[in-house]
């Protein structure tokens, strides 16, 4: 994907011109919005529409691409979790919709594997609680079994949330098909959070009643969430706009942008995109191979998305810098490079090529060489405390807006 205009608004706004090799991260703006969505947003902003009809049009577009019976656009995937849980609790009871998050006598227990209780920038379980759901963990962080899921179902259980993410524990968890079979045998709806997933059909096929995707990550639409699933369930999610969904509503521009991104997805040159990403990975491999203390390796996506990343392992004694200090150094300067460093304490980070503008891969390669050679010239190993780094990140959050 390429820029639709030569004018870079970041300088005008006083923002750093970051290069994103972290991935589809909300903290960086998620993704490059496809030109079709940019056009649709621009064209609808000055027009009036009947929002119910616009949502109907989006429902058809979502259903066509996902194979679902219906679909709905929300403000974000996080909002979609809350609205799906709310819909499971209230059904089409308009009075109950106005009472949430007070569920009163309604069934409101929501099951989730303990290993899936992760944060995507905010806790998954908080999104459940916002809708009036009572979170019921299943199993332990490092293991969950079918009997534990079955045993957790009570007369108060209304739904179960299944999270697909690189953040979740990636072993000894209940597979979705088994998870859905156990839940459905007791009349429990299954909500799948697949925000950052590429496959738009697999999770429904595996038994989900509704699947939630990000509209602004791999799809390349504006900030939004997408619900795809059973018609009655989707209708009940839509009805939450009369309740807690009012504060999570998506504008006409968001819906039109999602429709355009979905239409563009059908004709996108996926193979061409993979080839460009592969070329960037190979350039970075060639740049880093043989450098002291650096071990580069191309690795597949952990949730089976059709893309690879470059894992960069750093031996601080030989490279003379830690993985996290190298990540921090790359993030400084006139052309900041933001890497995928959520595992930096293990001595590694990743370079994700999915959100590069043309020729940015060469800038990344040059900055890697610059910082590694600078470390080699240092009088001593650059090794700050990882604990201090985390504390500094927390302090920076609390320092906003200064």
Residues 329 and 371: their CA atoms lie apart, in Å, by: 7
Tally the domains of the chain: 2
Q: Are residues 134 and 244 in the same domain?
A: yes
Residue 393 has a pLDDT of 85
Residue 169 has a pLDDT of 86
Q: Are residues 292 and 361 in the same domain?
A: yes
Bridge partners of residue 356, in order along the sequence = none
Closest CA to 20 of 11, 8, 9, 32: 32
* Intervals of the chain under pLDDT 50: 1-4
**Which residue, 236, 267, 298, sits at the end of a domain?**
267
DSSP string, 219-252: T--SS-EEEEE-HHHHHHHHHGGGTGGGGG---H
Q: Are residues 94 and 181 in the same domain?
A: yes
Q: What is the DSSP pairing of strand 225-229 with strand 210-214?
A: antiparallel
Q: Are residues 250 and 293 in the same domain?
A: no
2 assigned to some structural domain: no
242 assigned to some structural domain: yes
Q: Which residue has the tokens 């332990």?
A: 140
Residue 153 has a pLDDT of 97
Residue 301 has a pLDDT of 87
Tokens of 269: 């040159």
Residue 6 has a pLDDT of 64
Q: Are residues 330 and 274 in the same domain?
A: yes
Closest CA to 352 of 20, 33, 1, 30: 20
Q: Indicate the pTM of the whole model.
A: 0.90
Residues 374 and 363: their CA atoms lie apart, in Å, by: 16
1 assigned to some structural domain: no
For residue range 293-334, what is the model confidence (pLDDT) as tens digits? 999 999 998 888 888 999 999 999 999 999 999 999 999 988
CA–CA distances in Å: residue 196 to residues 81, 211, 292, 302, 332: 14, 12, 34, 11, 27
**Which residue, 229, 245, 267, sits at the end of a domain?**
267
**Which residue, 267, 299, 325, sits at the end of a domain?**
267
16 by DSSP, 3-state: which? coil
Tokens of 100: 């949430």
Q: Are residues 123 and 156 in the same domain?
A: yes
Question: Whole domain around residue 116: which residue ranges?
Answer: 35-267
392 assigned to some structural domain: yes
Residue 334 has a pLDDT of 85
Q: Which residue has the tokens 């460093």?
A: 341
Q: Are residues 59 and 90 in the same domain?
A: yes
204 assigned to some structural domain: yes
DSSP string, 129-193: HHTTPEEEEESBTTB--HHHHHHH--TTEEEEEEE-STTS--SS---HHHHHHHHHTTT-EEEEE
For residue range 227-249, what is the model confidence (pLDDT) as tens digits? 999 999 999 999 999 999 999 99
Q: Are residues 230 and 297 in the same domain?
A: no
Residue 202 has a pLDDT of 92
4 assigned to some structural domain: no
Q: Are residues 276 and 250 in the same domain?
A: no
Q: Are residues 313 and 241 in the same domain?
A: no
Q: Are residues 163 and 139 in the same domain?
A: yes
360 by DSSP, 3-state: which? helix
Residue 4 has a pLDDT of 46
Q: Are residues 61 and 22 in the same domain?
A: no
């Amino acid at each position: 994907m390429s820029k639709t205009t030569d004018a870079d608004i970041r300088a005008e706004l006083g923002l750093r011109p970051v290069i994103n090799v972290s991935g589809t991260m909300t903290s960086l703006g998620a993704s490059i919005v496809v030109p079709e969505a940019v056009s649709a947003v621009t064209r609808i902003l000055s027009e009036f529409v009947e929002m119910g009809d616009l949502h109907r049009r989006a429902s058809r577009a979502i259903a066509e691409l996902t194979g679902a019976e219906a679909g709905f656009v929300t403000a974000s995937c996080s909002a979609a979790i809350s609205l799906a849980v709310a819909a499971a609790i209230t059904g089409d009871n308009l009075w109950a919709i106005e009472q949430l998050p007070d569920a009163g006598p309604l069934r409101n227990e929501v099951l989730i594997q303990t290993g899936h209780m992760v944060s995507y920038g905010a806790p998954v379980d908080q999104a459940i609680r916002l809708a009036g759901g009572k979170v019921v963990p299943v199993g332990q962080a490092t293991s969950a079994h079918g009997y534990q899921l079955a045993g957790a179902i009570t007369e108060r259980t209304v739904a179960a949330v299944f999270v697909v993410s690189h953040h979740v524990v990636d072993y000894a968890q209940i597979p979705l098909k088994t998870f859905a079979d156990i839940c459905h045998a007791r009349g429990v709806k299954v909500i799948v959070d697949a925000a950052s997933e590429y496959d738009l059909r697999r999770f429904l096929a595996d038994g989900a009643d509704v699947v939630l995707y990000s509209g602004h990550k791999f799809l390349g639409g504006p900030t939004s969430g997408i619900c795809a699933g059973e018609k009655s369930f989707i209708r009940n999610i839509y009805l939450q706009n009369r309740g807690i969904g009012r504060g999570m509503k998506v504008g006409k521009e968001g819906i039109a942008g999602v429709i355009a991104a979905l239409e563009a997805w059908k004709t996108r040159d996926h193979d061409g995109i993979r080839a460009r990403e592969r070329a960037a990975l190979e350039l970075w491999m060639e740049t880093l191979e043989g450098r002291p203390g650096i071990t580069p390796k191309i690795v597949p996506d952990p949730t089976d998305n059709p893309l690879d990343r470059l894992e960069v392992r750093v031996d601080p004694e030989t490279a003379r810098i830690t993985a996290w200090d190298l990540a921090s150094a790359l993030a400084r300067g006139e052309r900041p490079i933001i890497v995928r460093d959520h595992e930096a304490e293990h001595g590694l980070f990743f370079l994700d090529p999915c959100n590069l503008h043309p020729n940015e891969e060469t800038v990344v390669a040059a900055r890697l060489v610059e910082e590694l050679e600078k470390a080699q010239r240092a009088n001593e190993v650059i090794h700050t405390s990882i604990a201090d780094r985390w504390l500094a990140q927390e302090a920076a959050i609390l320092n906003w807006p200064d």
